[in-house]
Amino acid sequence: MSHPRLNLYDLTREALREQFRRWGFSPLHADRLWAYLYLELADSCDAMPKLPAKVKARLRAETRFGLLATARETDSSDGFTRKYLLALADGEKIETVLMRYTGRVTACVSSQVGCAMGCVFCATGQMGYTRHLTPGEIVAQAMHVARALKFQIPILKSQANPEAFHALREMPPRLRNIVLMGMGEPLHNYDAVMQAVDILRDSNGLALSAERITLSTVGVVPGILRLAAEKRSVGLAVSLHAATQAERVALVPAAKKWPLDELMAACRTYSTTTGRRIFYEWTLIEGKNDAPEQARAVGRLLEGLPAQVNLIPLNPTPGYAGEPTRSEAAKKFQKILAEEFKLPSTVRQRRGIDIAAGCGQLAVGET
């Protein structure tokens, strides 16, 4: 039986050094390989003059560079968002989104193929759960975007929008922001996600700062407590969507398992232990969770906590009929949070909706 090849992106720098020791090579070569992988963004052994031939021969025989093939890529009509459909080694597919804002680029990466949590308004939830991603498959998505930026692979196909064109010319060529808000529930795949975060943060590699990696959870209580106990250097966003248990269960079935009071207790523990603020996400659905009393209920729930609310007007998905809250009502909601509860909030910029790359629209299907 042949051994599956070792995916280099699965390894932390320490694990790579360990592997080199086992092969009888100096860990210094591991550090060199690490720099080729994460500073030069190399995709093969061919351009690695600083590695001895015997090391390269071993790498060629037993390892692989876990870059993912692009099955499809789509640009939004405004030119700010690019969505990649990426093929995994076993034929499964995932989506990764590159979002450009003026002076800033963010990669939105997936943590699972599908999702087991079944939130009613989410396209990923609607497709069900297939499997966890490995650390290397999570890292590979960031590398895909980092390489696209560095080697100017995408830039812009349609330059119809002058604002986008201008922003892109000013765009930094390095990836600095990652959100784990693509397909899947990151805290359902805790170990792989944290290993990927460690790899992305490594100071001799991509060196992403802790403030610029944010994971969003549906509210997996044990995962939040573990993040707190381990004092993980990663930003946390919690998908709230409703401020009472009954309303929340109707949107987020996982709330049956992790009820709102337990979730809020875990969030309090997290903020006390880490000293960090949490982002609370609220998908605004017209007539469902956007009334002034509901804004006041969130205000009371979060009062006194270090919190910021991210309001996300509902994006359309095939399996859910709701409509997004209109901008006037969203502003009113924000105003109540600000004036009555001193609670900061933002309305998430709509990005990539026309190519189904917005929040909750990622699924491997027809789009």
The DSSP letter of residue 197 is H
Region 344-363 residues binding ligand SF4, contact defined as CB under 6 A: 360
Residue 359 interacts with, from ligand SF4, ligand SAH, none (CB under 5-8 Å by kind): ligand SAH
Q: What is the largest CA-CA distance in the chain?
A: 68
Shortest reach from residue 166's CB to ligand SAH, in Å = 28
**Is residue 213 involved in binding ligand SAH (CB under 6 A)?**
no
Smallest gap from Cβ 92 to ligand SAH, in A, equals 18
- Residue 258's binding partner among ligand SAH, ligand SF4, none (Cβ under 5 to 8 angstroms by kind) is none
List the one residue from 33, 206, 357, 359 that touches ligand SAH (CB under 6 A): 359
Give the DSSP letter string of 304-316.
Answer: TS-EEEEEEEPPP
Per annotation, catalytic residue among 73, 95, 137, 281: 95
Q: In this structure, are residues 3 and 62 in contact, taking their beta carbons and an 8 Å threshold?
A: yes
CA dist 111 to 101, 114, 185, 279, 367, Å? 23, 9, 7, 19, 20
Give the x-and-dash track for 318-337 against ligand SF4 (CB under 6 A): --------------------
Interstrand relation of 307-313 and 63-64 (parallel, antiparallel or unpaired): unpaired
Q: How far apart are CA 87 and CA 142, in angstroms?
A: 14
Q: Does 125 bind ligand SF4 (CB under 6 A)?
A: yes
**Residues in the chain, total:** 367
User: In Å, how far from its chain's centre is CA 324?
Assistant: 23
Check residue 185 for interaction with ligand SAH (CB under 6 A): yes
Q: What is the DSSP string of 173-194?
A: SS--EEEE-SSS-GGGGHHHHH
| Degrees to nearest 5, angle at CA 39 with 208 and 95 | 60
Cβ-contact 187, 193 below 8 angstroms: yes
Number of residues counted as binding ligand SF4 (CB under 6 A): 11
CB contact set of 169 (below 8 Å; sequence gap of 6+): none
> Are the C-beta atoms of residues 127 and 364 closer than 8 Å to each other?
yes
Is 211 a known active-site residue? Answer: no
Task: State the catalytic residue, choosing from 45, 115, 267, 359.
Answer: 359
Q: Please, which residue, 117 or 206, has the CB nearer to ligand SAH?
A: 117
328 is catalytic: no
Q: Which stretch binds ligand SF4 (CB under 6 A): 68-76, 117-125, 302-310, 325-333?
A: 117-125
Structure tokens at 244: 């009472």
Work out what residue 314 binds among ligand SAH, ligand SF4, none; the CB cut-off runs from 5 to 8 Å by kind.
Answer: ligand SAH
* Joined tokens for residue 26: 């100096």
Site residues for ligand SAH, 260-319, by CB under 6 A, read: 281, 283, 312, 314-315, 317
Question: Site for ligand SF4 (CB under 6 A): which residue of 76, 124, 189, 310?
Answer: 124
Q: Mind telling me the catalytic residues?
A: 95, 359
* Interface residues toward ligand SF4, by CB under 6 A: 115, 117-119, 122, 124-125, 184-185, 218, 360
Q: Which residues bind ligand SAH (CB under 6 A)?
A: 119, 121-122, 181, 185, 216-218, 239, 281, 283, 312, 314-315, 317, 359-360
